Amino acid sequence: MNAQPPAASPLLTNCPEGLPVEAYLDPGWFAREQASIWRRHWVLVGHKSAFAEGRLELRRVGGVEVIVLRDPDGALRAFHNTCRHRGAALCTETRADFNGRLIRCPYHAWAYDISGRLVSTGFGTPTADFDKAAHGLFPVALTEWNGLVFLSLADDPPPFAPDLGLTALDNWPMDRLVIGHRAEKELACNWKIFWENYNECLHCPGIHPELVDLVPVYREGVMSEPERRDWQGGPAGPALKPGARSWTLDGAPCGAEFEGLSAEQRAAGHTFVTIYPSCFVVAHVDYVRVVTLTALAPERTRLSAEWLFLPETLAAPGFDLENVTGFAERVIAQDGEACELNQRGLHSPKFRAGRLMPQEFDIHRFHAWVLEALGERR
């Protein structure tokens, strides 16, 4: 009989089966996820700086088009991109009739104020049976968290609940950070393949030579000391290799370290906050990175990353953006290749489902989350 891990260890005590292969290939399964996960749970649609007053921004949530605007008081609002007349799109990627006060349909000139209230039917002449008050734009639930904007298409959205809690980034100056760099990549894989890769480090020694050099525990195929088979408890030491302070090519911080971080947060070197299904945030001592997923098709996923800095860091003489972004972009590229390799192999008619190793406990939890969201039981 195999020795059991310590009681406090997160390791699985068995090797459970993963999701069926249909979960990664079948259009019907993907359509169910769009309806039950992507159109219900909170989905990141951008940093607050992307939504300027006087401009309509078009976003897609679960394949559904949504418009987002900022009113003169600074509040953000979101609506379905559909006119209540005959359903025409109010906004396209390149066209929107909006003067900061009225949203006007480009087809028949129905107009709505920034609260979504219908104020004009254009050249149409409603009769007594038409209730103008009942024909405003369809609202979309919106919440802001640490400068990030999330939408939910559900009439009754679930609570907004990052895995580490709403206060996880309170010690970082999130309200002052600005976007210093963006990168985007389309992957030939199912969105869940990316999250599975994110949730384990068994691949790290073979896929990420630079990362395992920076974070020594990753060399052992685990993400933290409690995942080691011989872990006996006790505090963890610094996560980064000696002399390194941040995730950069040379390990040096890109500017002044954030004030207000605890000693534990500085020693950790990275704090990951996950918000399924669409994003994770990685907070370092000197910058923050936000990675966003968009499920495009059963085997297509868009991956976007934004690097956030203090304005004074970006403006400092000698600031080296490539030293910061080059490291994570290399890791992202390596993960992308691994995810596409994983997706490609699923097309074998012999493969039905994977088997998880004890270190893949977070994948097991993720699978349970997906199945619960779809109303299924493992």
Average pLDDT over residues 75-100: 89
pLDDT, one tens digit per residue, over 38-48 is 999 999 999 99
Average pLDDT over residues 13-19: 94
Q: What's the pTM value of the predicted model, to 2 decimals? A: 0.93
* Lowest model confidence (mean pLDDT) among 98-102, 304-308, 328-332: 98-102
Which pair of tokens denotes residue 249?
Answer: 């090519």
Confidence of residue 1 (pLDDT cuts 50, 70, 90): very low
For residue 38, the 8-state DSSP code is I
Tell whether the model's pLDDT for residue 235 goes beyond 70.
Answer: no
Task: Output the pLDDT for position 278.
Answer: 97
Cis before 139 (ω within 30): no
Closest CA to 60 of 276, 307, 298, 302: 302
Confidence of residue 6 (pLDDT cuts 50, 70, 90): very low
Tell whether the model's pLDDT for residue 325 goes beyond 80.
Answer: yes
For residue 259, the 8-state DSSP code is T
Average pLDDT over residues 164-185: 97
- CATH number corresponding to 43-152: 2.102.10.10
The full set of domain ranges for the chain reads: 17-38+162-373, 43-152
Per-chain mean pLDDT for the chain: 93
Tell whether the model's pLDDT for residue 297 goes beyond 70.
Answer: yes
Average pLDDT over residues 193-212: 96
Tell whether the model's pLDDT for residue 296 goes beyond 90.
Answer: yes
Long-range contacts of 207-214 (CB under 8 A, 24+ apart): 207/334, 207/335, 207/337, 207/338, 208/331, 208/334, 208/335, 210/327, 210/330, 210/331, 211/331, 213/241, 214/240, 214/241, 214/244, 214/247, 214/251, 214/327
> How are the residues of the chain apportioned to helix, strand and coil, as percentages rounded to the nearest 5?
25, 25, 50
Task: Output the pLDDT for position 95.
Answer: 67
Task: Output the pLDDT for position 2.
Answer: 45
Confidence of residue 238 (pLDDT cuts 50, 70, 90): confident
Domain 17-38+162-373, CATH number (from 3.40.50.970, 3.40.1190.20, 3.40.190.10, 3.90.380.10): 3.90.380.10
Confidence of residue 378 (pLDDT cuts 50, 70, 90): low
Closest CA to 276 of 183, 345, 374, 172: 374
Confidence of residue 234 (pLDDT cuts 50, 70, 90): low
Task: Output the pLDDT for position 229.
Answer: 72
Q: For residues 235 and 267, give the distance between their C-alpha atoms in angstroms, rounded to a whole number.
A: 11
Tell whether the model's pLDDT for residue 226 goes beyond 90.
Answer: no
Closest CA to 140 of 72, 74, 58, 85: 58
